[in-house]
């Protein structure tokens, strides 16, 4: 199961009733021992389902930041072949918050968000990524900037020109690194 991002917060079931069904489906996938990969909201939903706290990050995180693998991340099969430090494409105000329950481990962290990636201990095929490197290109960044114009204009404001420049400058590198990550995920799924 792959769950992408979106505008809702994990606790907004009244406004977004589909969240209850999505959380139930995530639980079923995990209980069945099947692979799960969540991006942004998908990462937050995974954290919520696995009893982590999810709430406002200490700051809105939009654009490119530098992520760093933790010791657990360096050992994790999904990050094999990637450097210890790499760019992350970010687009969120909520986050999975520390401290995590003992059954979860942080795989990636950054100055913009303490918990950038998580995995369920003993199940490396259950992973959440707060970042959106699958969409790290100028075209997607431009579409997201347009679609979220109102949210991005709230303090602190985001510099759209900087986001676009960074996305264009780093899209090839981030795409190549995401290809490695996703190939690792597919290999891990095939090994189950």
Token reading at 161:
């020109």
Q: What is the mean pLDDT of residues 44-51?
A: 98
The rounded distance, in Å, linking the Cα atoms of 112 and 60 is 8
Residues for the chain: how many in total? Answer: 192
Among 77, 103, 104, which residue's Cα sits nearest to residue 192? 77
> Would you identify the CATH topology of the domain 2-190?
Rossmann fold (3.40.50)
Q: Which of 173, 78, 174 is nearest to 123 (CA)?
A: 78
pLDDT band with cut points at 50, 70 and 90 for residue 184: very high
> Please, what is the average pLDDT of the chain?
96
- Write down the H helix ranges in the chain: 18-31, 41-49, 71-75, 138-147, 149-153, 160-190
pLDDT-derived band at 155 (thresholds 50, 70, 90) equals confident
Q: How far is it, in rounded angstroms, from Cα 118 to Cα 31?
A: 17
List pLDDT tens digits, range 95-149: 999 999 999 999 999 999 999 999 999 999 999 999 999 998 999 999 999 999 9
How does pLDDT run across 5-31, given as a tens digit for each residue? 999 999 999 999 999 999 999 999 999
Please name the residue that has the structure tokens 């696995």: 50
171 — pLDDT class (breaks 50, 70, 90): very high
Token output for 180: 């490695």
Please give the pLDDT value at position 156. 84
Indicate if the pLDDT at residue 157 is higher than 90.
no
User: What is the rounded average pLDDT of the residues 48-68?
Assistant: 97
For residue 25, the model assigns a pLDDT of 98
Residue-range domain boundaries for the chain: 2-190
Half-sphere exposure of 137 (CA within 13 A, CB side): 9
**Do strands 123-129 and 36-39 pair parallel, antiparallel, or not at all (unpaired)?**
parallel
pLDDT at 118: 98
Residue 152 CA to residue 148 CA, distance in Å, equals 6
Task: Kindly report the number of other CB atoms within 10 A of residue 97's CB atom.
Answer: 18
Classified as helix, coil or strand, 76 is coil
- Model pLDDT, residue 136: 86
Q: Could you tell me if 2 and 26 are in contact, meaning their C-beta atoms sit under 8 angstroms apart?
A: no
Average pLDDT score over residue span 166-171:
96
79 SS3 class = helix
């Amino acid at each position: 199961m792959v769950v992408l991002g979106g505008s809702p917060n994990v606790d907004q079931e009244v406004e977004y009733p589909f969240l209850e069904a999505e959380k139930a489906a995530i639980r079923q996938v995990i209980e069945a021992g099947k692979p799960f990969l969540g991006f942004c909201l998908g990462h937050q939903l995974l954290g919520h389902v696995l009893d982590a706290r999810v709430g406002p990050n200490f700051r809105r995180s939009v654009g490119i930041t530098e992520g760093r693998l933790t010791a657990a991340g360096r050992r994790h099969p999904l990050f094999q072949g990637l450097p210890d430090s790499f760019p992350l494409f970010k687009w969120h105000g909520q986050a999975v918050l520390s401290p995590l329950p003992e059954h979860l481990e942080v795989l990636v962290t950054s100055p913009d968000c303490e918990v950038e990636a998580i995995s369920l201990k003993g199940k490396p095929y259950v992973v959440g990524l707060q970042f959106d490197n699958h969409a790290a290109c100028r075209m997607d960044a431009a579409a997201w900037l347009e679609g979220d114009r109102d949210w991005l204009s709230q303090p602190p404001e985001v510099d759209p020109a900087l986001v676009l420049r960074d996305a264009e400058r780093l899209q090839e590198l981030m795409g190549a690194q995401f290809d490695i990550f996703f190939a690792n995920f597919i290999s891990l799924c095939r090994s189950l």
